[in-house]
Structure 1
Amino acid sequence: METLESVKLWFNDHPTATMVFKYVVWVVILVIFLQFIRKALKKNLPNTATRYKSQKLVETIGYFLLIVLTVSYFTGNIRDFTLAIGLLTAGITITLQELILSVAGSLFIFFVKVYQPGDRIEINGIKGDVIDINSMYTTMMEIGQWVSSDNYSGRIVKLSNAFVFKGPVYNYSHDFPFIWDEITLPIRYGSDVELAKSEISKVAQEVLAEYVQQSIEKWKNVVKKYYIEDAIVDPTLAITLTDNWIEFNLRYIVDYKKRRMTKHRLYELIQKALEATEGKVLLASATVELVRIPMVDIKTKPKDLS
């Protein structure tokens, strides 16, 4: 009892310490409450995507409640909340500009749905798959750099959410998870052009039919949602005459995650198809053909023996 009385007297003699202690108690209660909600949601929500989004929502609400609790507690009146926020913002805007932009960026990403975990994006010159988004950073599994095509480099990149306000965000999978790609084939002059067109188109239809069917419905949704004209999703073949060969350009649609393997498959099957034409269609190469060696007449003056 004497110890309890001593503690009460100490708190009475130190009102500032009492206020801080009560504030810490409230913060601990708030954190425990939020953790309880997160665990309950994690346990009862079966869907991984829904569970992830709910965790991030609880985290955002927790930050907001903590700010409200802090400002209202130390101002002593919730009606002073707006004034306190204004004074607080004016004081820390410059020093914590990046932090503020990061938090605002996380809210912007969440509500506007700029991107979400699982999307492939390019932002601030970095391309990769989004694997996590929190209140400060977007975490990506990097693609490219020293690795060719769309393969993972193995590096995990943490990028400030503030970058959504500083430049364009390229999303490879949102709304329309397909991209257009193309390959170019040099065909020798003198080859059977119609046969070449037929063989290349046949391979394209065989390899790309599944992507074409899947993309048609997705593209219709894009046309309904945005002000954009309808597009051709079937493979298209264009021919260009150059100084060295006939250039065949095949443009096609493909799943954004299967671009590399699809290109490999197209090249492989087209090569086999052209070889099966028994010389009627030949691939060209940048070689130099020496047609004639010019004659060079070299005359020398006889030596003067005098």
Structure 2
Amino acid sequence: MQQARFRLRAFRKASLIAVALTSLLLLVVGPTEEALAQDAGVTATEDTSVEPKRQLQPEEVAREAGAEAQRTALGLRQGLLNALPKLTVVLGTLLLTWLVARGSRALLHRVLGRWARADASTALVSICVWLLGTGIAVSVLAGDLRAMLGSVGLVGLALSWALQTPIESFTGWLLNSFQGYYRVGDRVQVGDVFGDVYAIDFLSTTVWELGSPERPGAVHAEQPTGRLITFPNNEVLTGTVVNLTRDFPYVWDELLVPVANESDLRYALELLLRLATELLGEDMAGPARQYETLLREARLETSVADKPEVYVSLADSWTNVTIRYLVHARQRRKWKSLLAERVMVELNQPAHAGRIIPVLPRQQVQFLGVDGRPTDVPGSRRE
């Protein structure tokens, strides 16, 4: 089904391009107005003076067909010869347009320098120059403003249908260039693609892929997989762009530590908070102040913790203690691994035995008496 849709779409695009090229060809080598008027006069004269024709023989039909083909070829040849001066002017106009576009790009690059939107501005100026030059060239070919507008409209409609995806991708590149959704070096997630931006072209963007738990078969962490992924820039228009490092390269991360319900919960909270503060407290202070400043400028909540925090939530048969902390987006796995190692080593110390009980798989077996009521049997509950 998908293959049939793809073939139908390709046939539609090819048909539109063929119509556009045919109209352009007729515009270049079509007969002139004088030739059309002369043919109309000849036809009218023949219609008034014609007598009933006799039935032609096969040899005469063949000669008439050959003569008609010769007249058609001569007409096309004459139309091309008549269009040679126009074609010379058109080629000169396109050459001048190319020189002006190239000179304007060089001038704008020198004036704008390393401005973030210099490439997009230069591209827009070049497009305007080419549109102006192409309009002048088509007007010279058509010789009539109405014919020019009709031909340009037909060609533009056909190309817009046939080149829909490239046009959307180029629009996405322009929008990203001026809005700055992501730059080279940013860590982004666009649709299903997650990685560091490697290159941004007019029609596509290339990223170094990063692993994530949501992508089966990849590295299950935010570390490079070694693969390059290229996606069209129209994803900016149709998808969601998540940038982890554009304005603030730090993100909140969490480590979940389950403890048994029989544990000393307050003691466990104090211990885990102390371990996280010793490891991450100093590195969190500066980013927390920067984060608070950004939130204040955006008129959002400004109460940002400058030290790790712990939270408690209930599970089926144990208690989850969540350690929340602020780390650099490119170092999430490193700090989570260090914190998990320190927590596990500390919880195995003899000083915490009996106060912080780890969670083990549990299975409860319940026996029913003869009357169908539960019966307490020693050892019916195992941990």
Using the size of structure 2 for normalisation, the TM-score is: 0.61
1:215 and 2:288 are equivalent in the alignment:
yes
Would the alpha carbon gap of residues 107 and 186 (structure 1) be closer, same or farther in structure 2, given more than 3 Å must change?
same
Q: Does 1:179 pair with 2:266?
A: no
Preserved contact between residue 244 and residue 250 of structure 2 (Cα < 8 Å): yes
Give the structure 2 partner of residue 67 of structure 1.
Answer: 131
Distance 2:122 2:156 in 1: 24
- Match of 1:195, SS state, is helix
1:250 aligns with 2:323: yes
Q: Letter of the aligned partner of 2:346 in structure 1?
A: A
> Percent identical across equivalent pairs?
22
Separation of aligned partners in 1, 2:230 and 2:357: 49
Query: How much has 1:127 moved relative to structure 2?
Result: 1.0
Matches within 5 A, 1:128-207: 128-144=195-211, 145=215, 146-207=218-279
Q: Identify unmatched segments of 5+ residues in structure 2.
A: 1-80, 366-377
8 Å CA contact 2:93, 2:136 repeated in 1: no
Distance 1:65 1:215 in 2: 49
Cα contact 1:149–1:260 (8 A) shared by 2: yes
SS in 1 for 2:162: coil
CA RMSD of aligned residues (A): 3.5
Q: 1: distance between equivalents of 2:311 and 2:336?
A: 17
Per-residue CA deviation, residues 62-83 of structure 1 (Å, 9 max, x unaligned), is: 3443333222333259xx7x96
Q: How far apart, in 1, do the equivalents of 2:185 and 2:327 lie? A: 18
Alpha-carbon separation, structure 1, partners of 2:152 and 2:181? 29
Structure 1: give runs of 5+ residues left out of the alignment: 1-10, 295-306
Instruction: Indicate how the Cα distance of structure 1 residues 38 and 139 shifts in structure 2: closer, same or farther if over 3 A, else same.
Output: farther
Whole-angstrom CA distance in 1 between matches of 2:326 and 2:166:
40
Question: Distance in 2 between the 1:89 and 1:12 partners?
Answer: 26
State the secondary structure of the residue aligned to 1:237. strand
Post-superposition offset of 1:109: 0.7
Q: Which has the larger radius of gyration?
A: 2
The normalised TM-score by structure 1 is: 0.75
How far, CA to CA, are the matches of 2:292 and 2:319 in structure 1?
Answer: 32
CA distance in 1, matches of 2:279, 2:124: 45
CA contact (8 A) 1:196 1:274 kept: no
1:73-101 Cα distance to aligned partner (Å, 9 max, x none) = 33259xx7x96897254332221211221
Amino acid at match of 2:186: D
Which whole-Å deviations, capped at 9, do the CAs of 1:256-294 have from their partners, x for residues lacking one?
A: 111111111110111222233342424323255896379
Q: Equivalent residue for 1:237?
A: 310
- Provide the aligned length of Structure 1 versus Structure 2: 274
Structure 2 residue corresponding to 1:127, chosen from 194, 199, 217: 194
Assess, with a 3 A threshold, how the Cα gap between structure 1 residues 241 and 90 changes in structure 2: closer, same or farther. Answer: closer
SS at match of 2:279: helix
Separation of aligned partners in 1, 2:336 and 2:327: 9
Q: Does 1:15 align with 2:85?
A: yes
The one-letter amino acid paired with 2:95 is V
- Cα shift at 1:33: 3.0
Partner Cα distance (1:242, 1:40) in 2: 63
